[in-house]
Amino acid sequence: MSRWFFSSSFFLFLGNWIGIIALNWYVFETFHNPVYLGWINFARLVPILVFSLYAGRLCDQYSRSMLIKLLSGLSFLFTFFFTIVVITSEQLPIIVILFYACLRGCVSAFETPIRNAILPAMSKDVNVSVIVSRYSFVINICRSIGPAIAGLLIGLGFVSYTFALQAFCLFISLLLCLPITVERVSTKGSQKKSFAIQEMKQYFSYDLKGRGLFISSLTAMAFGFSYTTILPVLTDFHFPGEAEVFGIAMSFAAVGGIVATLTLPKVLTQVNEETMYYRSLCLFSISLIGVLIPLKSLLFVCLFAIGFFGQWTRSTNRIYFQNKIPDEKRGRIMSVILMDRGMIPLGALVISFLADSIGIMFTFAIMAIGTFIPVITNFKKIDSIDEGGEQCYKL
């Protein structure tokens, strides 16, 4: 079953990355307004904040494999119809693009917690850190291939057909997820109208380290991980008329993420997740400063580092919580943990306005400083973590 899950995930993420790059470039080239990039990514990701809690509850109440098939079908249909509209229209109104981005965001808000909740079912004979790294490896392979393919098609002037390729990938993902079957999780009476926020309060009352990781992740996502939103603006500022630079830069970030997923399981045998999280976040923020220098080679190196340390940051966060949370409550609690992604659209909206008002250079500097804030606030405890004093979730 795992081969169907990972194969389906591969084509899903490949299509998503092709679509994200195409949509960002289409909007920027059509309207030449970085603020619109912020609004598009806000519409795409803000449903995570709105629907993630309900998605987690659905995940614990209904068949997870059935939900994946339903959501994969919706994702394909939305993209297919949007592609038809793009190809047959000279220029779409921004409101249509916002509506499409919001629909895809709604699907993602439900799909991500469900796929993460299924992950432990793939790791009965394998350590959770290994299976999470494998899943991250698939994501980063797609982050490498997707932007490169999209950048090639965009450079050749086939932006509209890039969306068609996205729809094709999502159709393949739908077909591959049909054989997936996951056993229903027995809740044993623990499901008494219990909401994700209530579960989270109980969980964080025991796991203080986890609470610190979650809060710091909100800040990091808002400032640091929204860099993809305005990266087209930065590359156009430094290298005008070279659309391929954006795609290549994103590919370097993806390669960094791939290398990170291959090395992380070994690293975590020597260093615990929390320590690795804060150290990676520190290096991630430093890498954001490097992209301000207008050299292609340095840009690619810094994007590799951003992808590498960004992946270590996110993966150590996910592994920490996957190891702690009981399976019967995994959907609801992970839906809250994964809400940190919902800070990306809020950050994207803010930094887009900043880029338009104070310039792209100052904006990236502010992003780096904002990402470094959690490292400063947790500086004293980074090197004093008691590896033997791990808190665990009490039922």
In this predicted model, what pLDDT tens digit does every residue of 104-126 receive, in sequence order? 988 888 887 788 777 767 666 66
- Report, as ranges of residue numbers, the positions in the chain whose pLDDT lies below 70: 1, 53, 56, 60, 120, 122-129, 183-197, 326-331, 379-395
Considering the domain boundaries, does residue 389 fall inside one?
Answer: no
Considering the domain boundaries, does residue 36 fall inside one?
Answer: yes
Average pLDDT, the chain: 80
Considering the domain boundaries, does residue 186 fall inside one?
Answer: no
Q: How many domains does the chain have?
A: 1
List the structure tokens of 20. Answer: 């994200």
Domain limits for position 325: 2-180+194-382
Considering the domain boundaries, does residue 83 fall inside one?
Answer: yes
Res 221: pLDDT: 87
Res 388: pLDDT: 44
Res 171: pLDDT: 96
Whole-model pTM: value is 0.69
Q: What is the CATH number of the domain that holds 285?
A: 1.20.1250.20
Considering the domain boundaries, does residue 265 fall inside one?
Answer: yes
Considering the domain boundaries, does residue 346 fall inside one?
Answer: yes
Res 390: pLDDT: 45
Considering the domain boundaries, does residue 387 fall inside one?
Answer: no
Considering the domain boundaries, does residue 299 fall inside one?
Answer: yes
Q: Smallest Cα–Cα separation from 249: which of 297, 283, 206, 210?
A: 297
